[in-house]
Amino acid sequence: MKELIDKLYKTQTLSPIEFKKLIDNRSPEILKYLFERARAVRVENYGYDIYMRGLIEFTNYCKNDCYYCGIRKSNLKVERYRLSKEQILDCCTIGYELGFRTFVFQGGEDGYYSDEKMIDIIHTIKSSYPDCAITLSLGEKSYDTYKAFYEAGADRYLLRHETANEGHYSRLHPAGMSLENRKRCLYQLKEIGYQVGCGFMVGSPFQTTDCLVEDMVFMKELNPHMVGIGPFIPHHDTPFADFAAGTLELTLFMLGLIRLMLPTVLLPATTALGTIHPKGREQGILAGANVVMPNLSPTNVRKKYMLYDNKICTGDEAAECRFCMQKRMESIGYHLSVSRGDHKSIH
Ligand code: 5AD
Ligand code: FES
């Protein structure tokens, strides 16, 4: 197994059979070896700086019905909210003062925010904070819409592919959503010029090792600037309420593999990772991640953006999360960076 990790480190790729062998035969010893290598690669590319992104969850309305997600449209128990342009700007003002230089706008697929409305918001924020990067996470849109958002000033786009296996994709999503369209979006975003992020949940229902292997193969092909992965965590009001959560161990292992396969990728230690273990985000960094995304959403809406049960930070103010994160990163010898934190290829 160590030879396979060395091979991945040296050549930045493995065959599907090799990936499968590595994932299926992992052991505590192999994890330790992988994480040491992954940290070395991360340090080589980004030093001990951890980039932070302010996450603004601006709407929990969604027209989609993904079986895993707490804010799916069929969940009638969710109290829905939308932030106004002014509320969004207030989040950025608070965030800027706290040192955030990237704002991530994330929401359900909500038709209320027309292209015109989004363009106005993007444009206003970009003019108010020209030294900040804008990341969008708004789901599937047309090429023209993506292009218009980019021209309005958006820099980056996050769209997790969720799984690169067709059959698995159709067991996580109702008819009408397709992996094919998801991939189309990701390639178009890249073509337009965005820094692009894909990603998936670890341990989602029906996921097999082969699915994870396909995720690795797909990510190698797409060559994204960012990859967001976290454990699946059941939400009690979804069809997947009774499935087990993904494990810390496998999530960390996948983070390490991704760091070796895509050495310069921007890789967050996600909130979901922090939810399944009190030190999950720290362990994510120690497995090769280099980004954290503290919540900047107004405190009064946080509990309403529950994609999964027991999500952390839903009772904390933006400043609390910001300084909590700084302490957490310093506790493991890392430094929370006040910069845009672009992908290495951008400099
Ligand atoms: N557990 C973990 N992650 C989830 N997401 C949605 N629902 C869940 C869940 N139950 C992730 C999806 C989505 C991102 C915004 O959150 O991967 O792309
Ligand atoms: Fe939110 Fe620690 S990061 S409270």
Contact 271, 52 (CB under 8 A): no
pLDDT in tens, 175-187: 999 999 999 999 9
- As for the ipTM of the complex, it is 0.96
CB 65 within 8 Å of CB 72: yes
Q: Which pLDDT belongs to residue 347?
A: 65
Output the residue whose Cα is nearest ligand 1's atom 2: 232
In the prediction, which pLDDT does 302 show? 95
Token digits for 85? 């342009």
Q: Is the pTM of this model over 0.95?
A: yes
| pLDDT tens digits for range 261-309 | 999 999 999 999 999 999 999 999 999 999 999 999 999 999 999 999 9
For ligand 1, whether the C-beta of 293 sits within 6 Å is no
Please report the pLDDT score of residue 346 as a whole number. Answer: 79
Give the pLDDT mean for 240-262: 98
Report whether 302 contacts 315 (CB < 8 A). yes
Residue type, 67: Y
Please tell me the distance from the alpha carbon of residue 156 to that of residue 245, in angstroms, as a whole number: 29
Helix 16-24, helix 2-11: angle, nearest 10: 140
Relative to the alpha carbon of 295, which ligand is closest? 2
- Is residue 150 lining ligand 1, measured as CB closer than 6 Å? no
Residue 182 three-state SS: helix
Among all bound ligands, the one having the nearest atom to the CA of 276 is: 1
Average pLDDT value for residue range 237-254: 98
Q: Is the predicted pLDDT of residue 325 greater than 70, yes or no? A: yes
Residues contributing to the annotated binding site for [4Fe-4S] cluster: 62, 66, 69
Residue 238 pLDDT > 90, yes or no?
yes
Q: What is the enclosing helix (H) or strand (E) of 158? A: strand 156-158
Instruction: In whole angstroms, give the CA distance from residue 197 to residue 227.
Output: 5
- What average pLDDT does this structure show over 211-229? 98
- Ligand 2 neighbours, Cβ below 6 Å, are 294, 313, 316, 320-321, 324-325
Q: Is the pLDDT of residue 216 over 70?
A: yes
Percent with pLDDT over 70 in the chain: 100
**pLDDT 10s digits, 150-161:** 999 999 999 999
- CATH 3.40.50.200 is right for the domain spanning 2-339: no
Alpha carbon of 210 to ligand 2 centroid (Å): 34
Q: Indicate which residue's Cα is closest to atom 4 of ligand 2.
A: 321
CA of 175 from ligand 2 middle (Å) equals 37
Distance 44 CA to ligand 1 centre (A): 30
The residue count of the chain comes to 347
- Ligand 1: which residue has its CA nearest to atom 13? 160
Q: Mean pLDDT, the chain, as a whole number?
A: 97
The bound ligand whose nearest atom lies closest to the alpha carbon of 237 is 1
Identify the pLDDT of residue 345: 87
Distance separating alpha carbons of residues 225 and 222, to the nearest angstrom: 9
How far apart are alpha carbons 213 and 325 in whole angstroms? 32
Among 100, 305, 325, the mutation site with the greatest number of ligand 2 atoms within 8 A of its Cβ is 325
User: 81-112 pLDDT, tens per residue?
Assistant: 999 999 999 999 999 999 999 999 999 999 99
How much distance in Å is there from the Cα of 55 to the middle of ligand 2?
12
Longest CA–CA span in the chain (Å) reads: 55
The fraction of the chain above a pLDDT of 90, given in percent, is 98
CA–CA separation, 17 and 219 (whole Å) = 16
DSSP 55: E
Q: Is 272 in the pocket of ligand 1 (CB under 6 A)?
A: yes
Q: How far apart are CA 302 and CA 106, in angstroms?
A: 12
Question: Quick check: helix, strand or coil at residue 92?
Answer: helix
User: What torsion do the CA atoms of 34, 36, 40, 46 make, to the nearest 10 degrees?
Assistant: 90
The position carrying tokens 């954290």 is: 292
DSSP 216-251: HHHHHHH--SEEEEEE----TTSTTTTSPPPPHHHH
Order the strands of the 195-202 sheet from edge to edge: 54-59, 102-107, 133-137, 156-158, 195-202, 226-231
Q: Taking the domains of the chain in order of start, what are their residue ranges?
A: 2-339
Q: How far is CA 106 from CA 103, 131, 242, 305, in A?
A: 9, 20, 27, 10
Q: What is the mean pLDDT of residues 131-148?
A: 98
Determine the distance separating the centroid of ligand 1 and the alpha carbon of 251, expressed in angstroms. 14
